Each structure stands twice: as C-alpha cells, then as structure tokens.
C-alpha cells in the first residue's frame, strides 16, 4: 500500500496561472543495459522505498539544495547538519573544488545507509537532489570519482554506466520531476505503478493520509509493451472510484507542452474493493505482499 498525504507532489503542483492539475508523465528508454525513466510528479520521499528496492546497501548524496533548512542568514545547512537533525547516521566528505560552481553538486558529499533514506527525506523538501548507490563503504577516492563523473556528465545519455558498480542514480528537481537510471529492468514498472497510486491518492486525500495499492504487474506490463511514453490525467472522480485517463505519446512530455486530450487507455480504481481495472484487461485486486514487477523487453517503442 502507498500512503498518500495532502502535501504530495500531485496535490501541491499545478500548471499555469489557472492552477490546472499537474499530469502524470512517464517515459522510459533502454541504453546498453541501463533503464532511464523520466517522470512526474513525485517527491523524492514518495519514491524512496521504490529506489531502495534496487539499490545497494549504501547511498551517496552528491547534490542537495533546499529551503527547508536555513540558518539565521538564510544560508542552507550543510547536508551533514540535515542528517543530524533527521537522526540519521552518516559520513561526510568535503569535495571542495570538484563540486565548486557545478550545478547539482554539493561541496559536501553525504554517505548514508540505504535503509535510512526514508527517514532522511521525511517531512522536508529538497528542490534539487542527486544520489547514487554504491556497494559497501566507499573510499575517499571512490567518492571523488563519483563526483567527477556526475559533475562532468553531459546528461545527453545515461550517466550510470560511468559509475562502475552502481545500480541506481536518482536526480530530482523541484521535488516534482524525477530522472532515474537503473540496471534493474523491473524498476520502470515499479515507478509507473507508484505514480498511478500517487495520482489516484491525490484525488481521495483530504486532511489525513489515504492508502492506495499500486496496480498489478499485468496492467503495468501491458501499458509498457504498448508504449514507452505516457501522459495521464485524472478523469471522473468520486468517493467510490477514480479514473486515470492515459495517452500514449511519441516522446516524453515536457513542461510547457499542452496535456493531450486523447485517451488511449483508462485505469479505474475502485475505492471500496481496492481493485484496479485497465481497459481491455480483467480487474486486479491486491493481496498482502503484492509488488508490481513488470519485466521490460529490450528495445525502444
């Protein structure tokens, strides 16, 4: 079950001066065994457990910017001070000149345990966050290599292959836009399932948290076999059911582009039963312990 609160990404973000609802967007491509997902709208904390499911035991936070932790002079706290405030054990490494003046990098790199990621991200909002997983305890030389590789990357292709041994790279912007790279082919479907649950939850939530299951593997696999690029909007909504209207697009949705009016597939979530129904597929009802894992086939849509 996914817990959705009133201050989630789909609830606090909107489009334009009129405050139009923010769309779900999902795009995935595979390059040399690396799966790259570009998605909206999700806060880092809303994806933390999904990222953990494919990460090695250590997380290295190489870039962090926030207005949630500022001193008396309105200067952001160092990442290590934020970790202390959150009650998370850490190791800090000053990378100084390697990160100086490089957008998206912090001059202090933070090393934390993978399982502490949700606690680290709890109840605050990074408007820039870049993290990568590593195996075991990284050496100072390894941390410098990671910072150098990310800081000099052109970002016109996957960065993860340059970080030998890492399986996950996450880059978040405005705590809404997410780019995720992974060598685990199950992760794209898990991210799409999480986005769908978050979007539906945003239609049901009020002052308290609601719980929404993610769709099952069959529905997610069907969608990703049909297209690698989707835009979704909330359709008809009541206290009994929520409809997500999905449009397959030729490429990733970008901010500033109109949301498609066309509806190619619909997902309907029944609140009372917890059942998801995708047009053209039988209903899926969650059971305890279900996790949607849809193995993607190689190749581009």
Write out pLDDT tens, residues 97-148: 787 777 778 999 999 999 999 999 999 999 999 999 999 999 999 999 999 9
Helix %, strand %, coil % for the chain, to 5? Answer: 25, 30, 45
Residue 132 falls inside a structural domain = yes
Residue 299 falls inside a structural domain = no
pLDDT of residue 120: 98
Name the residue with higher pLDDT: 84 or 254: 84
- Joined tokens for residue 28: 């995935």
pLDDT band at 295 (very low <50, low <70, confident <90, very high): very low
Q: Indicate whether 84 and 151 sit together in one domain.
A: yes
Residue pair 59/114 in contact by the 8 Å Cβ criterion: yes
Q: Indicate whether 65 and 170 sit together in one domain.
A: yes
Q: Rounded mean pLDDT of the chain?
A: 91
- Beta-ladder partners of 247: 231
pLDDT of residue 24: 97
Q: Indicate whether 153 and 192 sit together in one domain.
A: no
Number of domains in the chain: 2
Residue pair 188/166 in contact by the 8 Å Cβ criterion: no
pLDDT of residue 208: 87
pLDDT of residue 138: 95
Q: Indicate whether 59 and 159 sit together in one domain.
A: yes
pLDDT of residue 288: 46
For residues 182-199, average pLDDT: 97
pLDDT of residue 237: 94
Q: What single-letter DSSP state applies at residue 107?
A: S
Residue 1 falls inside a structural domain = no
- pLDDT value at 300 more than 90: no
- pLDDT value at 260 more than 70: yes
Q: Indicate whether 169 and 193 sit together in one domain.
A: no
**Dihedral, 4, 27, 147, 77 alpha carbons, nearest 10:** -30
**Percent over 90 (pLDDT), the chain:** 78
Q: Indicate whether 134 and 165 sit together in one domain.
A: yes
Q: Indicate whether 63 and 84 sit together in one domain.
A: yes
- pLDDT value at 201 more than 60: yes
For residues 43-62, average pLDDT: 97
pLDDT of residue 29: 96
Q: Indicate whether 222 and 251 sit together in one domain.
A: yes
- pLDDT value at 37 more than 80: yes
User: DSSP labels for 2-42?
Assistant: EEE-TTSHHHH-EETTTTEEPPEEEEEEEETTEEEEEEES-
Q: Indicate whether 113 and 211 sit together in one domain.
A: no
Q: Indicate whether 63 and 147 sit together in one domain.
A: yes
pLDDT band at 283 (very low <50, low <70, confident <90, very high): low
Task: Characterize 156-189 residue by residue with b for buried, 16 or more Cβ atoms within 10 angstroms of its Cβ, and e for exposed.
Answer: eebbbbbbeebbbbbbbbebbbbbbbbbebbbbb
Q: Domain range holding 205?
A: 187-278
- Beta-ladder partners of 244: 234, 267
**Percent over 70 (pLDDT), the chain:** 93
pLDDT of residue 41: 96
pLDDT band at 16 (very low <50, low <70, confident <90, very high): confident
């Amino acid at each position: 079950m996914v817990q959705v609160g009133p201050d989630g990404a789909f609830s606090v973000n909107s489009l334009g001066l009129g405050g139009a609802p923010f769309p779900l967007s999902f795009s995935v491509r595979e390059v040399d065994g690396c799966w790259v997902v570009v998605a909206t709208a999700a806060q880092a904390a809303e994806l933390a457990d999904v990222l953990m499911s494919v990460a090695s035991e250590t997380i290295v936070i190489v870039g962090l910017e926030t207005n949630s932790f500022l001193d008396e002079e309105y200067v952001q706290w160092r990442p290590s001070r934020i970790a202390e405030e959150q009650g998370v054990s850490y190791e800090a490494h000053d990378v100084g000149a390697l990160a100086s003046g490089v957008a998206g990098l912090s001059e202090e790199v933070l090393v934390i345990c993978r399982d502490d990621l949700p606690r680290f991200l709890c109840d605050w909002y990074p408007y820039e966050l870049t993290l990568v997983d590593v195996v075991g305890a990284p050496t100072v030389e390894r941390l410098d290599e990671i910072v150098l590789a990310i800081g000099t990357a052109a970002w016109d292709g996957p960065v993860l292959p340059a970080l030998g041994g890492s399986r996950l790279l996450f880059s978040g912007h405005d705590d809404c836009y997410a780019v995720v790279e992974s060598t685990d082919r199950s992760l794209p479907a898990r991210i799409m399932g999480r986005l769908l649950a978050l979007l539906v939850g945003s239609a049901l939530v009020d002052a308290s948290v609601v719980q929404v299951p993610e769709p099952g593997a069959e529905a997610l696999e069907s969608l990703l076999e049909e297209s690698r690029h989707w835009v979704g909007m909330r359709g008809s909504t009541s206290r009994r059911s929520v409809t997500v209207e999905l449009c397959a697009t030729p490429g990733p949705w970008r901010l500033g582009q109109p949301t498609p009016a066309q509806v190619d597939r619909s997902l309907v979530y029944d609140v009372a039963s917890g059942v998801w129904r995708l047009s053209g597929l039988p209903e899926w009802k969650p059971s305890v312990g279900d996790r949607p894992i849809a193995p993607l086939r190689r190749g581009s849509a």
